[in-house]
């Protein structure tokens, strides 16, 4: 199987979907606990939510393999993105709820982790960097939008219930302020609770590629899965719930597609 799926567009917008993959190498799948084998920490149905992005001529890169193989939104050296807070690693050994992913003694060692980085992590990032550079060369700038979702209640990772819309811009460092402000206006006009640079400020992809001084503007959107699916083991997609969310996300991506650096702000 290919490491990722790439659909190339001609607009300034690049979408990254690093956690929606479901594929597992057979030799790895047999090492997982029964609970982990169902891949509960997947960003479920994210490609379906953003199907409309192709109509906006966006470039979309989507991981095919599970985050349990390697987490594409973590740095290759497994540096801690959230010091002092619970998190997950480059080749995670625990699920979001803290339970083991592997049968005892089946966890990856340093050598296996390095191999997974070479085989799965590096090709995705090579392709993403290449697409960002292509878009920037064409338009003079690029806008990167990193697509994520998570259960609305994960006590180990955050308190209470997560807002539906969680925008992260590396605390303002990964994109132009007026671009973030325009997106926030869309969120504020919706019926959903939202947060900007709250629990999720952006992972490795947002922080690494976002560089406004180099004309690359990046942000992460973390969605609460309760807004579009059943948060049960079946992970059933609910089109009637998703429709309103897709409408908001469409408005967000329209802002990103039509924004230009140096534009006057909306009144």
Q: What is the pLDDT tens value at each position of the chain, 267 positions in all?
A: 999 999 999 999 999 999 999 999 999 999 999 999 999 999 999 999 999 999 999 999 999 999 999 999 999 998 878 777 767 899 999 999 999 999 999 999 999 999 999 999 999 999 999 999 999 999 999 999 999 999 999 999 999 999 999 999 999 999 999 999 999 999 999 999 999 999 999 999 999 999 999 999 999 999 999 999 999 999 999 999 999 999 999 999 999 999 999 875 543
DSSP 237: B
Angle between helices 239-258 and 177-189 (to 10 degrees): 150
Beta carbons within 8 Å of 156's beta carbon, 6+ residues apart:
86, 96, 97, 98
Instruction: Provide the β-strand partners of residue 194.
Output: 165
Question: How crowded is residue 18: how many other Cβ atoms within 10 Å of its Cβ?
Answer: 28
CA distance 151 to 226: 7
**What superfamily does domain 4-258 belong to in CATH?**
Zn-dependent exopeptidases (3.40.630.40)
CA distance 230 to 49: 14
How buried is residue 184: exposed, middle or buried, by Cβ count under 10 Å (0-12/13-18/19+)? Answer: middle
pLDDT of residue 92: 97
Nearest in space to 227 (alpha carbons), one of 217, 237, 212, 214? 237
CA distance 113 to 117: 6
Q: Are 256 and 13 in contact (CB under 8 A)?
A: yes
Nearest in space to 231 (alpha carbons), one of 153, 145, 158, 166? 153
The predicted model scores a pTM of: 0.96
Phi, psi of 79 (to 5 degrees): -65, 150
Nearest in space to 205 (alpha carbons), one of 250, 142, 262? 142
The tokens for 202 are 């952006």
pLDDT of residue 267: 35
pLDDT of residue 264: 54
pLDDT of residue 255: 98
User: If you write DSSP's letter for every residue of 41-109 in order, what string do you get?
Assistant: TS-TTHHHHTGGGGGGT-EEEEE-B-TTT--TTS-TT---SSTTS----SS-SB-TTS-BSB-TT-S--
């Amino acid at each position: 199987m290919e490491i990722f799926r790439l659909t190339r567009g001609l607009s300034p917008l690049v979408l990254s979907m690093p956690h929606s993959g479901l594929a597992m190498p057979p030799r790895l799948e047999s090492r997982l606990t029964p609970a982990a084998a169902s891949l509960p920490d997947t960003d479920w149905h994210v490609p379906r939510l953003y199907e409309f992005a192709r109509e906006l001529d966006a470039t979309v890169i989507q991981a095919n393999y599970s985050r349990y193989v390697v987490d594409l939104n973590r740095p290759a050296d497994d540096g801690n993105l959230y010091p002092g807070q619970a998190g997950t690693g480059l080749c995670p050994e625990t699920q979001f709820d803290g339970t083991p992913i592997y049968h005892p003694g089946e966890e990856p060692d340093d050598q296996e982790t390095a191999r997974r980085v070479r085989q799965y992590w590096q090709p995705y990032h090579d392709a993403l960097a290449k697409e960002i550079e292509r878009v920037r060369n064409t338009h003079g700038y690029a806008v990167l939008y990193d697509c994520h979702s998570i259960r609305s209640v994960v006590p180990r990772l955050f308190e209470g219930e997560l807002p539906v819309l969680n925008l992260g811009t590396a605390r303002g460092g990964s994109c132009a302020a007026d671009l973030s402000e325009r997106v926030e206006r869309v969120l504020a006009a919706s019926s959903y609770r939202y947060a900007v640079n709250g629990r999720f400020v952006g992972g490795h992809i947002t922080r690494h590629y976002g560089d406004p001084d180099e004309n690359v503007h990046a942000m992460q959107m973390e969605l609460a899965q309760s807004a579009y699916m059943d948060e049960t083991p079946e992970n059933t997609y609910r089109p009637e719930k998703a429709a309103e969310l897709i409408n908001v996300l469409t408005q967000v991506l329209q802002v990103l597609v039509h924004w230009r650096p140096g534009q006057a702000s909306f009144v």
